[in-house]
A and B are shown apart, each in its own frame.
Chain A
Amino acid sequence: MKRNSLTLAILMSCTGLASNAHADDTKLQAEVDALRAEVVELRGLVHELQSQRAPAQAASPVSGAALPNAPLPSAFAAANAVPAPAVSQPAATTAAGDAIPGTGGSGLALGANTSLWGYGQLDYNRPTKRISDTQADLTRAVIGFNHVFDENTRVYGELEWEHAVASSTDRGESEVEQLYVEHALAQNYGMRVGLTLVPLGLLNEHHEPGNFYGVERNFVEQAIIPSTWREGGVSMYGNTDWGFNWNVGIGTGPNLGAWDPAADEGRLSPLGSIHQELQLAKARDPSLYAAANWQGVPGLLLGGGVFTGKIGQGDAVLPVNRSRLILSEAHLRWQPGPFDFSALYTRGTISNTQDLNLQFLGQPTPVPKSFWGGYVQGAWRALEWGSDSSLSPFLRYEMFNTAAAYAAQPQGLGTAPLPTQRVWTLGANYYLNPNVVFKVDYQKFRYEDLVLGYGNRFDLGLGYQF
């Protein structure tokens, strides 16, 4: 359209010019030359405008992904006819773009710049020796949103309900799991401010049920790295063309002053029991983290990270101010063909816990000096139906200890370190499609602990994500 108007304008100019053709040839030639130069300039401008417009169209927000078996995902907003895309000179032959409008919303778009996503997980756990403890649970239902302010800035959030019902008399929880503003500073790096996931391990940042094998998340990345672990603060991230990704941040950390020596939670997950989740978080002592991954060879992931900070948070009562947490981890994932192998090792220490533990004498759960865990896992996409459905059996072996050592304790009055737990998990993920997964597994524990929920069990699960 624009092009046509332009041509018309040029033709009209030419007509006007022709009417003055009585002037001498030299003058005419000069005017033709001037006009020709103008046409070239205009053509350049048109191309520039087109190349500016083409990316803008390409960047138009999409109405979201489709649910399996749902109607086709929505298109861009429904106008038609792709305008002439950016082309190099000479001008392209412009065919009419498809005049087929988009198919309308799939239910995930909230206006042009906002989209919704989500995932959920339902579990059934049947302890083989204590069948009366069999439990079914809507473990989590999550709604996430992504709202774009401009080309470089957005807000990203994840809202979660755990265990179906959250109220003062129920055991469920309602929580904001992520909420941050992200600003891209350049193509390859940017920053986030708000509540973000700590980038440690294989699972914490990718915790949707379709991303892990087994009904429950592995123990190591619950007990030692307390997935889903998030902190409030500022972080920077970036990547390179050769597959190196990095993420560093400064922000809140756990609060050792909240340690409850009478409860079992500290033995289940030392950091899980004192993480603050940006809930009126005590924030005197900032923590730092840094993580890096290399994925330069397709199918291979090597990475690791460290989280450290003083975690006393200025507690006036407890002698915790010199205590420092250091949690580090390294991981590997290798996915050759239908196979999927992964391994992870993590270890944490909390310093200067001796005086604190003296105050906890006689209580069942002192603060550990060290805790660690690791696992190896192999999975095999054994069967496939079409390109969407597949069955992947897997086997995982985990070792972990949430209280491998305590600082020196008064003789005869101390608490013994915990024995190392070892868990075998054998099971399968059946992907009805890549976003809906049915899971089954059997878990065999080295030792039982009724309080911590350790004991051989059979699990069934359903997960989805969109």
Chain B
Amino acid sequence: MQSRWLIPVGAAVAAQAAFATQYLSVQQAQQEAFAGASEFRLVSAADAAARAAIGAPAGWAPQVFEARAGEKKLGWLIVDQVIGKSEAITYALALDAAGAVISLEVLDYRESHGSEVRMPAWRKQFVGKTAADAAALGREVKIISGATLSCRHLTEGVQRLLRWYEVALKAPA
């Protein structure tokens, strides 16, 4: 399935204009998902074997933060992008220490239509899902009429990140 809509996230760019509605900053998303965190440690997503295992496209560079409260690991917040219809959607997936979805937030949305993926009722469908549920998400997640591609591609993005947890973040048993 991997996944033509899952764009690799860049990289620094010279300041460019972009029609975008920013609903949350990365920092706000961190605070909302992990209110008790004392630190968000940036984790590299460069592990080549893990990237190959999930079929990550070249150039894919999510921002992966490990949320900690002192020495205690609370979970992860991963900021990634997918293409909605033709523009990128920036989203943040928060996973708890066991890899289950705490929340999915849309940070930036750039399409003229389809921003309904922002609706809490739609995003709530992902809460509690784990890597074990990833395969079934494509069938289970209900689509919003008029936002079909945004829904579909965001779902695929979440699937990708759940798999990333499985191969790159999960503590060895």
Contact = CB atoms under 8 A, between A and B. Distances in A.
Contact of A95 (B22, B37, B38, B42): B42
A101 B30 contact: no
B22 A60 contact: no
18 contacts: A57-B12, A58-B107, A59-B110, A72-B4, A73-B8, A75-B8, A79-B14, A87-B30, A90-B39, A93-B39, A98-B59, A101-B59, A115-B86, A182-B112, A243-B119, A298-B142, A299-B142, A301-B145
Contacts of A101: 11, 59
Interface residues of B, number: 75
Given A57-B13, A58-B26, A301-B145, 12 more contacts: A51-B25, A58-B81, A59-B22, A61-B18, A75-B7, A79-B14, A85-B65, A93-B39, A148-B19, A149-B19, A151-B18, A202-B145
A299 B26 contact: no
Contacts of A13: none
A297 B113 CA distance: 18
Nearest to A86: B27
B25 A112 contact: no
B45 interface: yes
Interface residues of A, number: 92
A103 B40 contact: no
Interface in B1-41: 1, 4-5, 7-23, 25-27, 30-31, 37-41
A88 B86 contact: no
B41 A93 contact: yes
B46 A98 contact: yes
B95 interface: no
A259 B3 CA distance: 50
Interface of B: 1, 4-5, 7-23, 25-27, 30-31, 37-46, 57-61, 63, 65, 79, 81, 83, 85-88, 90, 107-108, 110, 112-113, 115-116, 118-122, 125, 138-139, 141-146, 148-149, 152, 156
Contacts of A82: 11-12, 61, 63
A66 B5 CA distance: 7
Given A73-B5, A88-B27, A434 B10 contact: no
B142 to A, nearest CB: 4
B41 to A, nearest CB: 5
Given A146-B86, A298-B125, A333-B145, A88 B61 contact: no
Interface in A269-321: 293, 295-299, 301
Contacts of B90: 58-59
Contacts of B61: 82, 97-98, 100
Contacts of B143: 298-299, 335
A388 B1 contact: yes
Contacts of B65: 85, 87, 92
Given A54-B27, A75-B59, A296 B10 contact: no
Interface of A: 51, 54-62, 64-70, 72-88, 90, 92-103, 108, 112-113, 115-117, 146, 148-154, 156, 182, 184, 187, 202, 205-206, 211, 239, 241-243, 245, 293, 295-299, 301, 333, 335-338, 384, 386-388, 434, 466
A296 B22 contact: no
A54 B4 contact: no
A80 B16 CA distance: 16
A377 to B, nearest CB: 13
A103 B25 CA distance: 26
Q: Please name the 4 residue pairs, one residue from A and one from B, whose CB atoms are nearest each other, closest first.
A: A76-B10, A299-B142, A98-B61, A62-B88
Contact of B16 (A73, A113, A296, A335): A113
A64 B18 CA distance: 13
A388 B1 CA distance: 7
Nearest to A186: B21
A62 B90 CA distance: 11
B26 A55 contact: yes
A18 B157 CA distance: 53
Contact of B112 (A85, A156, A293): A156
B152 A434 contact: yes
A388 B43 CA distance: 31
A239 B121 contact: no
B79 A85 contact: yes
